[in-house]
Structure 1
Amino acid sequence: MLKLEKHPSLYLIIILILSFLLRIIFLGTIPNGFFTDEASNAYDAYSILHTLKDQYGEFLPWYFKSANDYREGLYMYLMVPFVKIFGLNTFGARITSAVIGTLTVFIVYHLAKEIFNQRVGLLSALFLAILPWHIHFSRITFRVILLPCLFCLSLFLFFKSFKHPKWLIFSSVLFSISIYTYNSARVFIPLFLLGLAAIYWEHLWKHRYYTFWALIVFSLLFIPQLIYQLSPEGMARANTVGIQTDFNKIVSDYFSYFSPKFLFFEGDPSPRHKINNVAGLYSFQIPLLLLGLLLLLKEKTSSKWVLYLWLILYPIPAAFISPESAVRTLAVTPLFAIISGYAVTQIIEFFKGIWKQIVTFLLAAVIFANLLIYSQRYIFEYPYWHTDVWLSTLGETISYADQTSNECIIYSSNVYGTYAYIMIPFFTQMPPSQYHQFGVDIAESKLDMGRWKIQDLEQLETLNTDCLYVLYGDGNTDIPLGKDGEILERKGYREKFIHSFKDINNVQYYRLVEIEKKS
């Protein structure tokens, strides 16, 4: 079968190069724009780099307050060297995810090889390398990309403990650190470890010395997180998104994560979590996953139950929040890659002689064709889709405004609400030591940054005619100058257009104006 055993290192290198290219090409411009969560993570890393404090002035925190949702800090610390090398810009912010995503492909190779064999390992790595779900989150500055990476590494070390029991301790360390990656990990990892202990209790009991110390180490790292998780700060994000208590709704949302609509055809409804016309998995994987899950039942090794456990548990944290979330369930992407790789191996091994070559060629052609179609959509079509949700041209607008001679710049809260405050220090590259002095805190509506001020124009009795204004003007609405233009008109002001940037679709979402009182 492709004689994979003869040159495994060469094949792996090719897969890793492909993986990295899919994650880094046009990284600074696709997705077309830059979102507030990305800017917040990047500016926190930038602030740590220069002051050892986060954007709120907290010294080396475990959790970053960010937009009052208290994010796990591991990802931000990993961003620091990349921001140092590439600077505070879109590429410098996103390269961390691209590297982590590629590293995950490498780890999945070793994990699948440990569970099955080298051929499954290589094919599993290939599937993860080209998986739309994983590619997309490897190209944006979302900390969730770290979860599948650390989880797979933790599981790999656990399987290594069957040959060398001391790896149990190292595995427990990484499992506990995995919890500090993303909200859903706080539920998924403990549940998975309970299931893992049930499957391999004989192994753990046989090596109870190492099991004991693994448990101690895990507890030392997990308990502080658990205490924090139950605190008001730890519950901030859960309180924001809302945890469901309706049992029927939870069950319904749980099964939504197994629907073909979510997995293969439409994906996450949020346009920031997928590209149009492409779900997280390829449609040709439907028979592969079904066949793989059926054939796994015939395997005599207990490791198959670990894969089933992974599959059963992955939707649970997300089901308590909402249906069909690609972010909260990203931890499952390596599993789908492994099952697909296993199924392809079994299919090809079923055939003999010339039929094996024919089937191998056909499968390779299907994989290549789907990757080609996806790449074409991502590179040539995706930049035109949903530029509004990626806040396309907002960064250019802020940077241009910052270069003007105006001593005062009013940023209208209609420009994607007050949560876009972090875009200002990011795109102006405001020194963190200066930013800390302003005491910016969105939870307390403290959004004055000296020269820059975020204000709700509707709430102001009079407007400062000496300032430059960053306004929202949606070219897709019936109001030519948008809501902000309507407010100015109603309050008796006329605007003098200064500058604007039109996006790739020739739509103006933001504009810079000066204003004067009508006589």
Structure 2
Amino acid sequence: MLKIEKSSGFYLVIILILTFLLRVVFLGSIPNGFFTDEASNAYDAYSILHTLKDQYGEFLPWYFKSANDYREGLYMYLMVPFIKVFGLNPFGARITSAVIGTLTVFIVYHLAKELFNQKIGLLSALFLAILPWHIHFSRITFRAILVPCLFCLSLFLFLKSFKNPKWLIVSSILFSLSIYTYNSARVFIPLFLLGLASIYWEHLWKHRYYTFWAFIAFCILFIPQLIYQLSPEGMARANTVGIQTDFNKIISDYFSYFSPNFLFFEGDPSPRHKINNMAGLYAFQIPLLLIGLLLLLKEKSSSKWVLYLWLILYPIPAAFISPESAVRTLGSTPLFAIISGYAVAEITDFLKGIWKQIITFLLIVIMFANLVIYCQRYVFEYPRWHTDVWLSTLGETISYADRTSNECIIYSSNVYGTYAYILIPFFTKMPPSQYHQYGVDIVENKLDMGRWKIQDLNNMDELNTNCLYLLSGDPNANKPKGKDGEILEAKGYQEKFIHSFKDINNVEFYRLVEIEKKS
């Protein structure tokens, strides 16, 4: 490779600019739509900003209630200043992840530099900057993006403790805070720390004074989380998704996270967790990762065992839930970037003369070509792919309905089930103090928000003809009015079409109508 060490600062700035652009351009419109999880996180931050309470009226909670489970609160608190500056809208919600993703690339540079050298640090940062897996989750309002950021920062400061043992205490505090990021971190972080302690036990024993206080600091933050985790509220998410107990299934799911199909070709089955025809990593990384893992064996430093430990542990939390989940294993993205960067550095350092120049040129061309292909698919193809899962045009429909003069608006539960309730206060920018008064709770089926009411039309004996109705459409041309149209027809009502928004594929998923009794 080039003599990048001489101009490392310049190259790092270029990488960070590229990182930020890949994560922020078209951020408000791609992904095409806005999902309920994103709206829930954003509205909680909005509510904290204005009332110091979450959407359920709880004062500055550690964990935020969301429908039928509870979410770690660190991400929502980090969103507050961004919501303040950019407002309650998709861009204002997603910019938090874009900034965290960019910061992670900067941290990975320093982590890889500490593990190996500056050249590997720059290459690792470059790989993470262009990884589809990391780019995608840096562009949506999912709190899992915090896992690789805080974990890498914690590990970096732990490695800094070899020069100054006082960093052990700071590192332990950040490791414990990392557990307050996402469900999978609750399992991964404690397991990783046990492994890290076994690798560096001599260092920890030599500096046992700082090790002791680091352990105390970790416990102060970890034990309350552990107690909560074992409570009914803490187990709510596990009960919802279901923890597997079949050993053979767990093992099978564990190895699914090492399958080429998951890593390089198909990726996560959920269209919200990847773009079409691409997995989380590039196919050209296959030889790099294999070479990198083999070359690591020759390293005399204990750093290699840190990476092997990371690789072995990363699928464990997800394997107890399901196979091939990109969101539950997002913390592995810096690992694959570092191994790829290490392999490229070792290969180019080994080669001499014209071969070094040829291989370097080919690597640059391959990386650039893959990035261009990814960007083309992300910008031009992905917005048209599975617009239904991102609820494309639903936000526009809600905003339009809220501007009408109708005395009430009935939101049919057939639109996207009752879980889409949170999109109403998000897109109408409902004042949190007003929202709290309604006592909205999906578990208790309390879904009236003043003018807005979420109802199952099938269970209503009489329909209010003074209301505006937000109904589900049907992309099937033979049934353009969908299930809601059939219900209205059966109850003896006819529609008066008011408005609808067609998505980028010219499909109508939702429509606004007024109704009247058939004569």
Distance 2:475 2:272 in 1: 21
> What is residue 180 of structure 2 aligned with on the other side?
180
Opposite residue 153 of structure 1, the aligned amino acid is L
> What is residue 245 of structure 1 aligned with on the other side?
245
Distance 1:247 1:206 in 2: 40
In the superposition, relative to structure 1, how do residues 477 and 36 fare at CA in structure 2: closer, same or farther (>3 Å)? Answer: farther
Equivalent residue runs for 1:442-481 within 5 Å: 442-476=442-476, 478-481=478-481
Distance 1:243 1:374 in 2: 34
Distance 1:190 1:322 in 2: 21
> What is residue 401 of structure 1 aligned with on the other side?
401
**Aligned-pair CA distance for 1:478:** 3.3
> What is residue 428 of structure 1 aligned with on the other side?
428
Residue 104 of structure 2 is aligned to residue 104 of structure 1: yes
> What is residue 168 of structure 1 aligned with on the other side?
168
> What is residue 113 of structure 2 aligned with on the other side?
113
Residue 151 of structure 2 is aligned to residue 151 of structure 1: yes
Q: Deviations over 1:459-515 (max 9, x none)?
A: 111111110000001123632200100111111111100000000000000000001
Residue 340 of structure 2 is aligned to residue 362 of structure 1: no
**Aligned-pair CA distance for 1:353:** 1.1
Question: Which residues of structure 2 form unaligned runs of 5+?
Answer: none
Distance 2:336 2:15 in 1: 17
Residue 60 of structure 2 is aligned to residue 67 of structure 1: no
Q: Deviations over 1:247-278 (max 9, x none)?
A: 00000000000000000000000000000001
Q: Deviations over 1:329-381 (max 9, x none)?
A: 00000000000000000111111012111111010000000000000000111
> What is residue 6 of structure 1 aligned with on the other side?
6
Distance 2:34 2:392 in 1: 7
Give the SS at the match of 1:362. helix
The Cα RMSD (Å) is 0.6
> What is residue 489 of structure 2 aligned with on the other side?
489
Distance 1:11 1:475 in 2: 48
> TM-score normalised to the size of structure 1?
1.00
Distance 1:60 1:17 in 2: 35
> What is residue 42 of structure 1 aligned with on the other side?
42
Residue 276 of structure 2 is aligned to residue 269 of structure 1: no
> What is residue 281 of structure 1 aligned with on the other side?
281
In the superposition, relative to structure 1, how do residues 511 and 173 fare at CA in structure 2: closer, same or farther (>3 Å)? Answer: same
Give the SS at the match of 1:444. coil
Distance 1:5 1:317 in 2: 38
Distance 2:122 2:462 in 1: 65
Distance 1:307 1:436 in 2: 47
Distance 2:422 2:76 in 1: 15
Q: Deviations over 1:33-58 (max 9, x none)?
A: 00000000000000000000000000
Q: Deviations over 1:262-299 (max 9, x none)?
A: 00000000000000001000000000000000000110
Distance 1:484 1:137 in 2: 34
> What is residue 316 of structure 1 aligned with on the other side?
316
Distance 1:506 1:480 in 2: 13
Equivalent residue runs for 1:345-360 within 5 Å: 345-360=345-360
Distance 1:192 1:373 in 2: 35
**Aligned-pair CA distance for 1:68:** 2.4
**Aligned-pair CA distance for 1:407:** 0.8
Residue 377 of structure 2 is aligned to residue 377 of structure 1: yes
**Aligned-pair CA distance for 1:5:** 1.1
**Aligned-pair CA distance for 1:143:** 0.2
Distance 2:454 2:308 in 1: 50
> What is residue 515 of structure 2 aligned with on the other side?
515
Dislocated runs of 4+, deviation >2 Å? none
Distance 1:183 1:446 in 2: 27
Residue 341 of structure 2 is aligned to residue 341 of structure 1: yes
Distance 2:416 2:505 in 1: 19
Distance 1:354 1:262 in 2: 36
Equivalent residue runs for 1:174-213 within 5 Å: 174-213=174-213
Opposite residue 252 of structure 1, the aligned amino acid is S
Distance 1:218 1:235 in 2: 22
Opposite residue 142 of structure 2, the aligned amino acid is F
Opposite residue 367 of structure 1, the aligned amino acid is M
> TM-score normalised to the size of structure 2?
1.00
Residue 59 of structure 2 is aligned to residue 22 of structure 1: no
Distance 2:346 2:166 in 1: 33
Opposite residue 27 of structure 2, the aligned amino acid is L
Distance 1:477 1:112 in 2: 54
Distance 1:70 1:319 in 2: 21
Give the SS at the match of 2:281. coil
Distance 1:226 1:477 in 2: 52
Opposite residue 108 of structure 1, the aligned amino acid is V
Q: Deviations over 1:99-151 (max 9, x none)?
A: 00000000000000000000000000000000000000000000000010000
Distance 2:186 2:474 in 1: 40
Opposite residue 32 of structure 2, the aligned amino acid is N
Say how many residue pairs are matched. Answer: 519
Opposite residue 480 of structure 1, the aligned amino acid is P
Distance 1:81 1:386 in 2: 32
**Aligned-pair CA distance for 1:302:** 0.7
Opposite residue 458 of structure 1, the aligned amino acid is N
Distance 1:477 1:103 in 2: 47
Give the SS at the match of 2:6. coil
> What is residue 234 of structure 2 aligned with on the other side?
234
**Aligned-pair CA distance for 1:92:** 0.1
Distance 1:49 1:415 in 2: 30
